[in-house]
Amino acid sequence: MALTSIEAIAEKLQEERKNRLEEILISSGSQAIVKNDYGITIVDEKNVASSLVFKELNKDKYDEEEIKKAIDIEVKELKPSIPTPNLDLVPRPIYDKEVALNEDLRIKLADVTAKYSASLNEIKRLQTEVTKVNIEKLSISQKDDLISNQLETVSDSLATFTEQIQVAVQKSVEESILRTSLQSQNTGYKVQIEALIKQIDSLNSIIEGLQAQLGAVQQQQAITQGTAAQAMAAGADVVNEVAIVKLQEKADPNSPPIFGKINAKGGNKWINGKTLSITNNDKGQISIAIDVNYPSGRKWFRLSESSFTMEPGASKDIQLNIDESSVSGADSRKKTFGWSRSTDYKGGELKVSVTKSDKSTKSKSYEMKLTKNHPDSY
């Protein structure tokens, strides 16, 4: 039965496979066995050598030269003269035709094999591309998942920020309202503060005035106390807190502070109060007025000065001069026989008025007494 072209090609390929297998076995032996990275023998149809696992891998090795030495291998007796067989049994035209056909098939097989190899390479390339595309797809999918997660995170953050912005806007509105209210209150407070500042200024002015008055009062108190101390030490009087008034001399403390005697026969003398000494202890000018209320209208002494002003720290002595003519007709007087008895003229007063720079006036009065003595009792 004649074989088809495909069957013939397959048979030819099988025969060629066997021949290659024999060649590999002869040249490589068991080293041609295919193993993977783990040392496991594998069988692959694409690798002819992998089928060696099913063949006997041992081959006896004989040294033909040594064997020839051991035996006689040349046949002489039974070797006939046999002619060389003529193996060219197929007619040459048919043989040449088959050879040409076989060559054509071989070329086609080589072309098919090349195409098959190219197809395998293309498949591998495409598989590589597919793997690469799958990897890229996986990477893109992972990136897509990452972007999706990031987008979700951003969406959550955006929602959070939106909520925060809404809260901030609400707070801003509330703060704006509160700020407006506070500004209004601040304006009112400013008006109140300005009014209070004016009141404070007014109070400060009052305080300054009071402090000035207090200073003046304290100064005046110091002057008053000092004046009182000086007057006490000198045995004098203080008039209107600043003037020291003293009557000198004072020989009889039991008699009135102004006490004079006139001799009926002529002559006079002061017992108390010959001189009125006045000192101004104030920081300002003072005015002095001296008024005398004489007893029975008898002006028995005259003042050297009765009205004047005194500068701060000034002192002045006013002399009291006895006027004998004022009582010339009064007892004691000369009679036909001798002199009438001695007579005291009491009553009346001398008033010293002191007016300070603040127009305040105070006075001090002193009693007076005049005795007109009998010449024998003078």
Using only C-alpha atoms, the chain has a radius of gyration, in whole angstroms, of 82
CA distance 370 to 50: 178
Tell whether 358 and 249 lie within a shared domain: yes
Indicate which CATH number applies to the domain containing 300: 2.60.40.10
Residue-averaged pLDDT of the chain: 82
CB-based contact 279:318 (threshold 8 Å): no
| 179 domain residue, yes or no | no
Residue 187 lies in a domain: no
Asked whether 287 and 324 are in contact (CB, 8 A), the reply is no
Residue among 326, 226, 310, 225 nearest 276 (CA): 310
Average pLDDT over residues 229-238: 90
pLDDT score at 184: 86
Give a yes or no: residue 154 inside a domain.
Answer: no
**252 shares a domain with 126:** no
* CA–CA gap between residue 358 and residue 56 (Å, rounded): 156
pLDDT higher than threshold 80 for residue 47:
no
* Residue among 227, 295, 228 at smallest CA distance from 256: 295
Q: What is the mean pLDDT of residues 265-269?
A: 91
pLDDT of residue 334: 84
Predicted confidence at residue 48, as pLDDT, reads 56
In a domain, 355, yes or no: yes
Residue 100 lies in a domain: yes
Please, which pLDDT band fits residue 378 given cuts at 50, 70 and 90? confident
Start-end of H helices in the chain: 5-28, 64-70, 92-234
Query: 274 pLDDT exceeds 70?
Result: yes
The two tokens of residue 4 are 């088809």
Single out the residue in 142, 158, 180 at which a domain terminates: 142
Per-residue pLDDT band for 368 (boundaries 50, 70, 90) equals very high
Residue 211: what are its φ and ψ, rounded to 5°? -65, -40
Lowest mean per-residue pLDDT among 66-80, 181-195, 271-285: 66-80
Average pLDDT over residues 350-373: 93
pLDDT, tens digit (0-9, with 9 covering 90-100), for 206-228: 888 888 888 877 888 888 888 88
Q: What is the pLDDT of residue 193?
A: 86
> How many domains does one find in the chain?
2
Residue, of 374 and 93, whose pLDDT is higher: 374
Higher-pLDDT residue of 6, 302? 302
Residue 192, in any domain of the structure: no
- The pLDDT of residue 74 is 61
* Residue-wise DSSP of 141-186: HHHHHHHHHHHHHHHHHHHHHHHHHHHHHHHHHHHHHHHHHHHHHH
pLDDT tens, position by position, 51-79 = 554 445 455 666 677 766 666 556 555 55
Q: Which of 103, 123, 142 is the last residue of a domain?
A: 142
pLDDT, tens digit (0-9, with 9 covering 90-100), for 143-172: 888 888 888 888 888 888 888 888 888 888
In a domain, 28, yes or no: yes
Which residue range is the domain that position 130 belongs to? 5-77+92-142
Residue 346 lies inside a defined structural domain of this protein: yes
Positive or negative, the CA dihedral 50, 53, 54, 56 is positive
Q: Of the spans 38-47, 60-69, 345-354, which averages the highest pLDDT?
A: 345-354
pLDDT band per the 50, 70, 90 thresholds, residue 175: confident
Mean pLDDT over 338-359 rounds to 91
Report, as an integer, the average pLDDT of 13-41. Answer: 66
Residues 129 and 10 in one domain: yes
What angle is formed at CA 273 by the lines to CA 272 and CA 278, rounded to 5 degrees? Answer: 150
